[in-house]
Amino acid sequence: MHFDVFNGDADGIIALVQLRLAEPKVSTLITGVKRDISLLKQVDVETADTITVLDISLEKNIDALNLHLENKTEVFYIDHHRAGDIPRSEHLTTLINTDANTCTSLLVNDYLKGAYAHWAVAAAFGDNMTQSAITLAESVGLSKAHQEQLKALGIYINYNGYGRDVDDLHFHPAELYKALLAYADPLDLIAEEGSIFHQLEKAYLSDMEKALTAKVLADTSISKVVQLDDAPWARRVSGVFGNDLANQSPDKAHAVVTLNAVKADEETTYTVSVRAPLNNKQGADEVCIQFPTGGGRAGAAGINLLPETMLPTFIDTLNEYYKA
């Protein structure tokens, strides 16, 4: 049996779309919400013969990966997040690049020699790799109008991946992947009346309008931190809203702090999305790994459960890291 294991955001989904357009394969799909990255452990060691892993940190999946390699499962691992120590095994093939200006779909695009470059452009825009997306788009002759359309598609797909669980999402990432796979060119999807593109566009614009009321917790020349409520719409926009803020003020770091559900006997916690300054795309992961449940990549990272008591420390850490 073959398993495709992939992040439920734009980069993970579109990376797999490109691969399976080029190399069709019957597979079992393993995915989830954007922050559900410990996915490899969901693959039964005794069942899997081959596995493709896309856009989830190898460092966060190392235990499960080692079990599969010990069982002689063939694993193809493509990613741009923190990798840690990569195992040496004849059963592991890796395509990993943690450069802040690349993403998994761009790595797949290179692997496929640009066979589905329009999809890669959409993914890069969705992962807020704006300049990388524009560079690729111009290299394949996409007009400015088509670039804007693909940018919107990437953002909407990325937006769909954020939530506490899949019930928060408009489309389950596995079902969204299957729907997108029907289009060799994403521009055909965009042109189709009533398509998923247009459904997500309507939902995205509605949720982002609500985000304009976000409470500002801190705003300095170094960083801006805003807070969103414990609500499905807030969880859906937490990542794309962070990207939007980063694009508006590229010299500042940004954090979107979303309140998690509070149980009577538990401490209040937050989900945190961090964006490094676009003009200094490094360190977001270094900030987040200083806190329990933190991780990510240089340009964008997060913390799944930040205790309320640690919020002031987090804000101080963010400012300290990026101060001149």
Query: Could you give the domains of the chain?
Result: 2-202 (3.90.1640), 212-322 (3.10.310.30)
* Contact present, 246 and 128 (Cβ < 8 Å): yes
Strands (E) in the chain, as ranges, are 2-6, 28-30, 50-54, 74-79, 92-96, 215-219, 223-228, 253-259, 269-275, 294-296, 300-307
The encoded tokens of residue 131 equal 């300049």
| Measured distance CA(38)–CA(57) in Å, rounded | 8
pTM exceeds 0.85:
yes
Amino acid at 166: V
Region 269-288 average pLDDT: 96
Region 285-291 average pLDDT: 96
| Measured distance CA(103)–CA(55) in Å, rounded | 8
* Contact present, 284 and 252 (Cβ < 8 Å): no
Band (58; pLDDT cuts 50, 70, 90): very high
Eight-state DSSP code of residue 141: T
Q: What is the CA radius of gyration of the chain?
A: 19
| Residue-wise pLDDT tens digits, 23-51 | 999 999 999 999 898 999 999 999 999 99
